[in-house]
Structure 1
Amino acid sequence: MSSILSKPMRTRMGMKESGRGVGTLIGASFIILILLAGFGAYMFMTEQWNSYMESVMEIETLDYERKQENAYFTNGRALTEDNHLNVSLMNRGAIEIQIIYVGVFDYFGDDANCTYYSVEPLLVMPGTSETNIGTDILLSDPTQTYEIRLVSHRGTIFTGELRNGNITDSNSGPRGPPGPPGPAGGTTNETQNTFGPFQLHFDTWRFYY
């Protein structure tokens, strides 16, 4: 009799032990999932933080290098015989300067035109000067007064005044907001260019990626 009753009891005990084993596996699975989710979140946050810090360092490096850029126009004749622009820039700073845009600003004519021209990148090393800048740019009225701007790839703007074919450096003088350049040879209106791919900061462009 006892042997007959003990068989169901052993079955129930086996089922309980099996249930406990399944519960243990389920609990362990949940713990593993929680750990994996936490690790994934940690890795994601770490990656985002590293990306943010890299961007901050790039911006700080760019700002530091931009502040090292120091150059001036070589005063003198800045037009060719056929009225093409021909300016010279002297790099008196401690870092190389790469010119990527030339701006021609006609503030004094009947219609104020502000035109940026994309040029072949021109590298000016410290302590050296480069000539023949902007020789592809034709001025329609060589007797007019223009403001000439050379823009570096870091966003620094070097300004000179072209009057009757002669240029005078005016980097220490007041400058208006540059506005982002349009297509090569295109015309941009300064009063409408406070937005775009560049953020205005005083008298320079600051590039943010």
Structure 2
Amino acid sequence: MEKVIVTLRTAAADDEWAEQLRGPVAHELLALGLPGLTVNVRDRDVRESMMTLTTLDPPVQGLVSVWTQQYYGDQMLMALELLGHYAEEIAAYLVTESAPLPPPSTPPGERSPGLANMALLRRPADMDERTWLARWHGNHTPVAIATQSTFTYVQNYVVRAITEDAPVINAIVEEHFPIEAVTSLHAFFGAADDADLQSRMEQMVASTAAFGANVNIDAVPTSRYNFRSPFSA
């Protein structure tokens, strides 16, 4: 089983587009027989998140996570062809998934609770991969969980891009927060007061700076819809 994450970039991503992606498009993808499918889309519930960061133009407005037996098989090729009709630019990445805090279980097709923040990370050119992974996975993971109101934390390490001309991305991180985190830094960090917020933010900045995740990143606020889990009995 392999996991592929597809980024969808478009300047025209209104609520109709979001509803189409999590509705008819998702069902067409399911009809391909994919073992697993999750759609993360920037919609009205989260669009105005104060933690949005963008380096790509057009920006990422949706991400589709696909589980398949072969990332290079016909099933995946058909999925990419379908998704290509719904964005100006798509890029697909083969990833390995670590889940320090797995997402909550929800009925198929229903919105997961809260804000699903998707962060696209890039490894600094002057940092070797071993050091980068050690600082991200080994050092940063407990800091991220301790200093934020995170109730889901999934780390997707990019093995390689599988579409031509894909922007360089080294990791895609998914973190879930209470929906109040869309408009409140206190809710995002789980801070009791201003002093607590300042302390938590300083710890996060120091930790992310150690592996270059404080710059050159995209943070995409999304609503998460899980349609089929590859791990269901």
Q: State TM-score, norm by structure 2.
A: 0.23
Find the structure with the greater CA-based Rg: 1
